[in-house]
Amino acid sequence: MQADATPPTPSDSRSAARARHRARHDRSARASGGAAARVSSRTHAASYARTLAAALLLALIAPGMPGTAWAQDDAATDAATDPTADAIARLTVVPHGEQSFDLLTGETVLPDGGVIVDTETGLRLDAGFVRYREGDFIEARDATAETAGGSLAAPALRIDVATLVAAAPEGVRYVREGLELVADAAELRFGPELVRFEHPTGASLDLEARALLLDIRTGDALLLGPYRFQDGPFVLTDDRDDAALQLRPVTTDAGTPTYRAANEVDEDLWTRMAPLR
């Protein structure tokens, strides 16, 4: 026997209609929310990309501006927290022309060269090519350093910025009043203003030595043995490795600057030269 179907009442029809309306509304809300999330995600990604591109562009363009000086005086380099801060702040690099900055290595290259100045001593170094990394090193080619006491020329020079020590491993020529020499290599210390010349040979004086230590400020020098020095009519020589001879700058009766050997090494000079011995 088949049951009779009960026809829907008006109340049931209205309930079904409301249910279908709510279902459509929920689907529409979910679709709108997903689209909004995707738009927001794309907007944030585009904003981040624009910010990153601007930062990279600034990093590439700013160091390349000709005439820009670099001074090691970063606020983060504080003498209270970093013992090398004072040393680092002394050196300034001024390019002669263009410069380029490598984002990967942090190195700046001055293909046209530039000037390196020690702001405390006034030492000025002019080079035909410069490469440096802030707070680390400075390399210079065809360099000439001018000081109050004389001038130094070297085909290659490397400065350790933290210690303020410059090395000239490919030879050097030095000239000051009463003294002109060439050497196989040299080490220049900016702080105490001392220089060590390896295997020097005198151009203005007849001298040879294993090393010559020079106080740039006073002009006092030490020859380390084995050495040979022509002192007026006398030739002073010593073949011992631990031998030392002090040379003092003097002026002849005719007014010519020159050097004379001292009878013994001054104790104060020997102490000052300790970092180079």
Structure tokens at 262: 């001292």
- The 10s digit of each residue's pLDDT in 168-224 is 999 999 999 999 999 999 999 988 899 999 999 998 899 999 999 999 989 999 999
pLDDT attached to residue 144: 94
Residue 276 confidence (pLDDT) above 60: yes
Which pLDDT tens digit goes with each residue over 63-77?
444 444 555 444 344
CATH of 70-272, one of 3.50.50.60, 3.30.230.70, 2.60.450.10, 3.30.450.40: 2.60.450.10
Three-state secondary structure of the chain: CCCCCCCCCHHHHHHHHHHHHHHHHHHHHHHHHHHHHHHHHHHHHHHHHHHHHHHHHHHHHHHHCCCCCEECCCCCCCCCCCCCHHHHHCEEEEECCCCEECCCCCCEEECCCEEEEECCCCCEEEEEEEEEECCCEEEEEEEEEEECCEEEEEEEEEEECCCCEEEECCCEEEEECCEEEEECEEEEECCCCEEEEECCEECCCCEEEEEEEEECCCCCEEEEEEEEEEECCEEEEECCCCCEEEEEEEECCCCCEEEEECCCCCHHHHHHCCCCC
The pLDDT value recorded for residue 23 is 52
Tens of pLDDT, residue by residue over 114-158, are: 999 888 878 888 999 999 998 899 999 999 988 777 899 999 999
CB-CB neighbours of 66 under 10 Å:
11
The pLDDT value recorded for residue 8 is: 52
So where are the chain's domains? 10-62, 70-272
Is residue 20's pLDDT more than 60?
no
Q: Is the pLDDT confidence value at 49 over 60?
A: no
Average pLDDT over residues 1-27: 50
As a whole number of angstroms, the distance between CA 227 and CA 114 comes to 38
pTM of the model: 0.69
Mean pLDDT, the chain, whole residue set = 78
